[in-house]
Structure 1
Amino acid sequence: MRIAVIGASGRMGKNLIIATNETDGVSLGAAIVRSDSSLVGADAGEIAGIGKLGVSATASLADSVADFDVLIDFTTPSLTLENAAFCAEHNKAIVVGTTGLNNAEKTQLASYAEKTSVVFAPNMSIGVNLTLKLLSTAAQILGDDYDVEIVEAHHRHKVDSPSGTALRMGEVVAEALGRDLKECAVYGREGQIGPRTQKEIGFETIRAGDVVGEHSVWFATEGERIEIVHKASSRMTFAKGAVRAANWLEGKAAGLYDMQDVLNLK
């Protein structure tokens, strides 16, 4: 599989170039930077700090359309949808790690999956996706007797809150407990709010420094508390997961997949 990385000069883009170069069965076919970037024409490997790879950065997907089979996109919701539309039109697969998509944007992304294969997940980490499986199992066993609280922390530059991963964790727990997260979620607490209700799922958000990503889910009752925790110390964990997803897409029919599909956890 020939992979295209968009946003190749950014922190995640550089990690994706490195991860692609280190993964068997895939190769870097294209690297896209902003059209006004001074790096247009530069070698993608040198942009990522690993030496020449023989792939020159381009200013648009259109400039690289013949050079890749699957696009990895960790950009912004609006740009991701533009890129997904391009991939659907040109029969290219796409892996989407972008967070912050609203329900309408997710629906639009799903419409493109009718024409091409799409992996979309709020977190590409293999460890996080195993954690989701553990959360579902824990919630089914513990049931309504345990209060559920989700605490997440990220770097100061993250623009969406709670994180897409935290929301997905809440969805997984709610589904296992037979609840609708839209009805039971509580985002932060302040003032005289009264005692906690039995079926609410609470979210707390921390934004500070350079935290890559930390998520902790509490199941608490009288006398004990269980915590399921995932901590990411490097963006490379997300990059490696995304490249694994890109490789998995080879030969897959059009459709909307997630990392649970990629890792055979369903």
Structure 2
Amino acid sequence: MTKLGIYGCLGRMGRAIQDVAPEEGAMICGGADMGDDPAALAQQCDVLVDFSSPAALEAHLAAARAAATPIVIGTTGLSAQHHAMIDEAAGEIAVLQTGNTSLGITLLARLVREAAQRLSADWDIEIVEMHHRNKVDAPSGTALLLGEAAAEGIGSTLAEAGVIGRAGLTGARAEGTIGIASLRGGSVIGDHGVFFAGNGERIELSHRADDRAIFARGAVQAALWLANQPAGRYDMGAVLGL
């Protein structure tokens, strides 16, 4: 049985992964949280899952590289510098980074990319996400993932086309942009909607998470898949063969 280690084991996702791992055929070999030694965990497990914080990523990647242990990174709020670290680590070990481990979201991202690619430029793309009141980053990693999928579909990047929130006299909407709006409140686990608005018609693609366990199951399935992969950078689409 594959031995799975968890960075951020005391958080919501860390606890959820511990609950579902046996059902998915994985054994939890240990966990680490703030103040624990990440190297010790990396040395005793077959694959790691990181749902901690951006500040801890550098140390976790270093531990994974030193132990030659594959790692799934589900931590959100990552910067360009963090992604550069991931790229570097992927030269030595298998790394899967994603803003959402839901298999449903993974398929949604593919549908968004295909819709954006097939629709003409006069279809406007807007993304709306809502999460619980305690979420600390915005937009969500999932909204950014969906935004990147849409940008890829129109032959751009989210850095070029993204408009994160709007306020004041913004003027008319610029063609080829992708708007992202964030809502926070209550205990919402995660709602995401992608709207393609044309002249006289609208397409809506959406996903609602009702149980945090879907992310935990997806993370474990990703870890089991990654444990047998060569060094490189992967995403959830690879797990589904997309």
TM-score, normalised via structure 2 length = 0.94
Structure 1 gap segments, 5+ residues each: 36-58
Structure 1 CA distance, aligned partners of 2:86 and 2:161? 26
Q: Tell me how far 1:239 sits from its aligned partner.
A: 0.7
Alignment of 1:1-266 (within 5 A): 1-24=2-25, 26-35=26-35, 59-265=36-242
Aligned partner of 1:151: which letter? V
Structure 1 CA distance, aligned partners of 2:151 and 2:11? 35
SS at match of 2:121: helix
Change (3 A) 1:210 1:20: same
Runs of 4+ in 1 over 4 A off after TM superposition: none
Q: Higher Cα Rg: structure 1 or 2? A: 1
Structure 1 CA distance, aligned partners of 2:21 and 2:221? 9
User: Is the 8 Å Cα contact of residues 57 and 82 (structure 2) preserved in structure 1?
Assistant: no
| Deviation by residue 1:156-191 (Cα, 9 ceiling, x = unmatched) | 121211111111111111111112322222122222
Structure 2 gap segments, 5+ residues each: none
| Deviation by residue 1:228-261 (Cα, 9 ceiling, x = unmatched) | 0011112211111110011001321111111011
Aligned partner of 1:208: which letter? G
Structure 2 CA distance, aligned partners of 1:34 and 1:107? 23
RMSD: 1.4
Change (3 A) 1:156 1:136: same
Structure 1 CA distance, aligned partners of 2:23 and 2:82? 33
Structure 2 CA distance, aligned partners of 1:248 and 1:65? 17
| Deviation by residue 1:100-151 (Cα, 9 ceiling, x = unmatched) | 1111110011111111111111111000000001111111121212111100
Structure 2 CA distance, aligned partners of 1:101 and 1:250? 23
Structure 2 CA distance, aligned partners of 1:122 and 1:160? 12
TM-score, normalised via structure 1 length = 0.86
SS at match of 2:119: helix
| Deviation by residue 1:187-222 (Cα, 9 ceiling, x = unmatched) | 222222222122111111101121111110000112
